[in-house]
């Protein structure tokens, strides 16, 4: 994977191939997308100690992780995508709309 691709969207079968493999112009823009679109859901999953990697290959292998930090370490080592640590995640309000529109 490319470091500017979203590791969740890539396995989302509701999306088109283009959307699943979409590359953001900068990693920071992908992080903003990830934090906004997926983090809440993943935190919810973390409460149940069940985080699944959505990458098609990992789904096939049944990769299961317990914590968000495990997921971060996994996508880093397995897919070459680094994500923000929880202490680096910006609050929703602080995410710049301008930054997002630069890329679209
Ligand atoms: Zn995504
Ligand atoms: Zn994976």
65 by Cβ neighbours in 10 Å (0-12 / 13-18 / 19+) ranks as buried
The Å distance, Cα 81 to ligand 2 centre, comes to: 10
Residue 42 is assigned to a structural domain of this protein: yes
The Å distance, Cα 79 to ligand 2 centre, comes to: 7
Nearest ligand to the CA of 7 is 1
Strands, E assignment, the chain: 51-52, 64-65
Instruction: Please give the Cα distance from 99 to 14 (Å, whole number).
Output: 26
Q: What digits encode the pLDDT tens for the residues 14-63?
A: 999 999 999 999 998 999 899 999 999 999 999 999 999 999 999 999 99
Residue 57 is assigned to a structural domain of this protein: yes
Residue 2 is assigned to a structural domain of this protein: no
What domain range includes position 53? 9-103
Residue 38 is assigned to a structural domain of this protein: yes
Count how many domains the chain has.
1
Instruction: Please give the Cα distance from 104 to 93 (Å, whole number).
Output: 20
> Residue 52 carries which DSSP code?
E
Residue 1 in tokens: 């994977």
Residue 4 is assigned to a structural domain of this protein: no
Residue 92 is assigned to a structural domain of this protein: yes
Q: Confidence band (pLDDT; 50, 70, 90) for 89?
A: confident
Residue 1 is assigned to a structural domain of this protein: no
Instruction: Please give the Cα distance from 102 to 46 (Å, whole number).
Output: 32
Instruction: Please give the Cα distance from 35 to 48 (Å, whole number).
Output: 19
Taking a 5 Å cut-off on Cβ, the residues next to ion ligand 2 are: 53, 55, 58, 78
Residue 25 is assigned to a structural domain of this protein: yes
The Å distance, Cα 7 to ligand 1 centre, comes to: 7
Q: What is the pTM of this model?
A: 0.82
């Amino acid at each position: 994977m490319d470091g500017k691709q979203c590791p969740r969207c890539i396995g989302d079968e509701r999306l088109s191939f283009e959307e699943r493999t979409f590359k953001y112009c900068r990693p920071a823009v992908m992080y903003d997308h990830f934090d906004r679109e997926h983090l809440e859901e993943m935190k919810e999953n973390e409460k149940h100690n069940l985080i699944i990697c959505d990458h098609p290959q990992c789904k096939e292998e049944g990769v299961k992780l317990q914590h968000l930090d495990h997921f971060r370490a996994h996508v880093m080592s397995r897919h070459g995508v680094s994500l923000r640590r929880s202490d680096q995640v910006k609050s929703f309000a602080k995410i710049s709309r301008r930054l997002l529109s630069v890329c679209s």
